[in-house]
Chains A and B, each alone.
Chain A
């Protein structure tokens, strides 16, 4: 067992764990970050497609993502690393009255939260995304302040800054148990040793439940699998992230954007959900999503697919994250259940749990923590999670 005593141990060096470790160090804490993979972001951060938006419908997510967007958009000026941040907005398309209604209903809530998002009729929408198939297009919502960046470059930048601030990282190491005494956290044991601490933050993404169980707890986080792909780069032809929420056989929705270096990154939400942590490529994915994308944007037919992969969404019963202290184990904090939005929530959630661990909560934090409380009673499902 290491003789060092850490103020906090963060388990998971991914989309949430890495910015959390960084924020904890910014709070002046001595931090250890442990990850089962070989380097930062090798769990599911690298599987994220990089979309960043604040245009949700739940207040907590809106606030956290606004904080994240601020971090991503100002990072290069503040710290120098290019995260490939690009503010192209999010565009939800409506080709049928059904989707038009869903989007317009949602817009009322989004407007109420002061978000910069509006409904655009067909011709106006085509000015924003001229490559869209105009046939039977009704219109859509567009939020110009949203955008995207590179999950991998972001995670590496957060890692670099975390290390500069004194965070210790241990890779290729798996936490096997959270050591507890009299209802309090006293350390963690790993497959390579052990470390003393009075505070553990679970940022283990799709593996959050296993970690909770290693502490004698449970977490209602179940991974399901989404498949994604990337194309060759092309000269810029698309600004926003395009989201099509029409269900079709085999898929609930799909979305894609042209990232900063020019490639199109795309992802589908399978129907029914593929529950579990199987990340092997399916033969159904490429034909299914290609057909939907080419139908929506015909000129994509000529764009070449370069690579595909699968990533895991750590899902919760109501589609909202679980963030906050455990009521059963003192010193244990959840930052889990991001439901596929760990990358966009990461810096916001990271900063929040750092304030929580340091007992320096700000105005408004309590409301967020209440909304995302791990011990909440699960009710409805958030629209368009």
Chain B
């Protein structure tokens, strides 16, 4: 039986064996305790979860976040989102082929009244922004209900296995995102005035300013005095042929599978988009033992931090700038991807197509705020604040800081004596939101004696943990904020390697000319791959910042000090002439990234705009050309935006087609947004329950399960 579980990971602790029996199409399989159905299926090599009722197209994972219904399966007779429902022992899981049937309910149902609960503040989202705000509010003695749709708090921090940028003081820079999440959670949980509801999703703000929430399958109304929207962001989609094939999905979904659930959903991966999300996802893939065939970026340079890009290049991942995706190929799932070069007018240059064999294509073309609740609150006059990505797309470090500011502002608005928000907080928040600055030529010192760090860091980004960590205080950055580039006072290095370990960009090496032979130097390189993949005596290929191989050199020492937090510090012995240029060790062989010889292309109009209702770009374009300017008319005519996801994915794609067709934005009438945020069973609104109300350990959709048998 295939096993796609991650057994060896440099950072994450792999959970226990899969012991929970379930079946898929009658075949016996095993899941880990508490594992969601989708991850259990991936772990068993299943990636196609059913076929769409409209056109029979194969369906698989897409958001892995409970937002769409692409991953629906039939579990014990009920259609459920496989990414949100845990496997139960003996569960019979079947693909959702077409429309689901409704099972009969046995016995008389009991109804409970829907409760209304008052609170001073309702925080939507337990990610970096929501948690940070909750801490400030708790300190000020404000009563808070914090809800989050996942079982664990932390939001996307849970998925961030890499060390964070920013500053140590403001946002725990140098610490791994997932550990920051745990720290914030522990702090929030230490306050009694914060009620935390996990597996709880907000559904809508109503005109009477009550907020409908689904709390572990039970519907509850919350009446807050102030609402903080810290709902984060969702991933943008992209229109291309084959974009809805199982195997094409978002980078965030991928990180959920890999970093939260420790399954290996892919063996060969291609990434679209060179922003931080795409760059980091590619790095996480490599760490999980997945081959990364390449990454394409339409612009001349990747939009993400240069250190993230450099890291990938050094590991042997080609970055195809000025390239776009043409199509994902395959019939039931992705078998390859075709990319092509863009001319100055952003048109594909014929003849430049390259096809790569891969089983997964990650779409990482940007984020957009989850701002539905914010708009409804505004419309209905419920006092609200927003923090983090829901307010403005930026790094998680910025989200933590804006959350903190909003927390204080809300406490003040509620009349608590918390004073003013310190002006420097606003400045810090702005700095943390900074877009990466210009790339500056790397400065390699002339010295060939002694010991000193080299900063392969040549782009201004908000980051300074190296300056805080140096025990001698010998690393500094110019200027009053943390955007500058690091500099070293060479006299003071004690070769402690702490800067090498802390750098989130893995961009610091330590070059030591003291102990090696003449014409040689020892270079310390940070390495975040499984310990089993490297040992003393190995010969490794070392590369410069641009990924150019410098030579093959021996590993002389591998150590894993506690301060490196699961990273390895690898010492290689290298000739003095290349020692200072070494920025990393290649982990992926060159053959992995070779294009396939046959150029395969997916033909026909298979560019899907609305995944839920299977509406193509061609259909939308034809209506626009007929003169349709009201998105609601497009919706009425094609059903685009009427599907299970509630119009979360297609609006920006449709607007893009309008732009491509040369329609000015002022002529376009936007979709009318309607509740509810996610689909919820009628039984939950009806107050059908088995017990006395929400039980702490009841899973998200257990109210659904509860209707079968007994009721």
Which residues of A come within 8 Å of B, CB atoms?
A: 37-42, 46, 131, 135, 152-153, 155-156, 171-172, 231-235, 237, 262, 278, 280-283, 286-287, 290-291, 293-295, 298-309
Alpha-carbon distance A295/B685, docked complex (angstroms): 12
Chain B residues lying within 8 Å of A301, measured Cβ to Cβ, are 105, 109, 681-683, 686, 688, 707, 711
Alpha-carbon distance A283/B114, docked complex (angstroms): 10
Q: Within the complex, which residue of A281, A291, A306 is in contact with B644, where a contact is CB–CB below 8 Å?
A: A306
CB distance from B706 to the nearest CB of A (A): 9
Chain A residues lying within 8 Å of B69, measured Cβ to Cβ, are 232
Alpha-carbon distance A278/B679, docked complex (angstroms): 25
Alpha-carbon distance A131/B104, docked complex (angstroms): 8
Alpha-carbon distance A295/B53, docked complex (angstroms): 29
Interface residues of B in 102-129 (CB under 8 A from A): 102-105, 108-109, 111, 114
Chain B residues lying within 8 Å of A308, measured Cβ to Cβ, are 674-676
From known contacts A294-B109, A295-B109, infer whether A233 and B99 are also in contact, taking CB-CB under 8 Å. Answer: yes
Is the pair B682, A281 in contact by a Cβ cutoff of 8 Å? no
B187 beta carbon closer than 8 Å to chain A: no
Is the pair B675, A304 in contact by a Cβ cutoff of 8 Å? no
- Per-position contact with A for B650-689: 1 when CB-CB < 8 Å, else 0? 0000000000000000000100001110011111111110
CB distance from A172 to the nearest CB of B (A): 8
From known contacts A283-B206, A283-B212, infer whether A38 and B681 are also in contact, taking CB-CB under 8 Å. Answer: no
B433 beta carbon closer than 8 Å to chain A: no
Which of B143-151, B314-322, B522-530, B627-635 is found at the contact surface with chain A? Answer: B627-635
Counting chain B CB atoms within 10 Å of each CB, which of A171, A293, A298 scores highest? A298
- Which single residue of chain B is at the shortest CB-CB distance from A135? B108
- Which single residue of chain A is at the shortest CB-CB distance from B106? A298
CB distance from A295 to the nearest CB of B (A): 7
Is the pair B686, A287 in contact by a Cβ cutoff of 8 Å? yes
From known contacts A233-B99, A280-B380, A283-B210, infer whether A305 and B682 are also in contact, taking CB-CB under 8 Å. Answer: yes
CB distance from B97 to the nearest CB of A (A): 10
Is the pair A280, B683 in contact by a Cβ cutoff of 8 Å? no
Is the pair B212, A302 in contact by a Cβ cutoff of 8 Å? no
Chain A residues lying within 8 Å of B684, measured Cβ to Cβ, are 290
Is the pair B682, A232 in contact by a Cβ cutoff of 8 Å? no
B598 beta carbon closer than 8 Å to chain A: no
Q: List 20 A-B contacts (CB under 8 A).
A: A37-B630, A38-B630, A38-B669, A42-B630, A131-B102, A135-B108, A156-B636, A234-B99, A234-B101, A237-B102, A282-B206, A283-B221, A286-B212, A295-B111, A298-B105, A299-B102, A301-B683, A301-B707, A302-B708, A305-B680
Chain B residues lying within 8 Å of A235, measured Cβ to Cβ, are 98-102
Is the pair A294, B682 in contact by a Cβ cutoff of 8 Å? yes
Is the pair A290, B683 in contact by a Cβ cutoff of 8 Å? yes
Is the pair A287, B676 in contact by a Cβ cutoff of 8 Å? no
- Which single residue of chain A is at the shortest CB-CB distance from B669? A38
- Per-position contact with A for B48-83: 1 when CB-CB < 8 Å, else 0? 000001000000000000000100000000110000
CB distance from B468 to the nearest CB of A (A): 49
Alpha-carbon distance A282/B380, docked complex (angstroms): 11
Is the pair B686, A291 in contact by a Cβ cutoff of 8 Å? yes
Is the pair A152, B636 in contact by a Cβ cutoff of 8 Å? yes
Chain A residues lying within 8 Å of B646, measured Cβ to Cβ, are 306-307
Is the pair B105, A156 in contact by a Cβ cutoff of 8 Å? no
CB distance from B559 to the nearest CB of A (A): 54
Chain B residues lying within 8 Å of A37, measured Cβ to Cβ, are 630
CB distance from A39 to the nearest CB of B (A): 4
Alpha-carbon distance A359/B111, docked complex (angstroms): 58
CB distance from A18 to the nearest CB of B (A): 12
B208 beta carbon closer than 8 Å to chain A: yes
Q: Within the complex, which residue of A156, A237, A290, A300 is in contact with B633, where a contact is CB–CB below 8 Å?
A: A156
CB distance from B227 to the nearest CB of A (A): 14
Is the pair A39, B633 in contact by a Cβ cutoff of 8 Å? yes
Is the pair A293, B682 in contact by a Cβ cutoff of 8 Å? yes
Is the pair B103, A282 in contact by a Cβ cutoff of 8 Å? no
- Which single residue of chain B is at the shortest CB-CB distance from A231? B682
Chain A residues lying within 8 Å of B104, measured Cβ to Cβ, are 298-299
B596 beta carbon closer than 8 Å to chain A: no
CB distance from B518 to the nearest CB of A (A): 74
Is the pair B99, A305 in contact by a Cβ cutoff of 8 Å? no
Chain A residues lying within 8 Å of B208, measured Cβ to Cβ, are 282-283
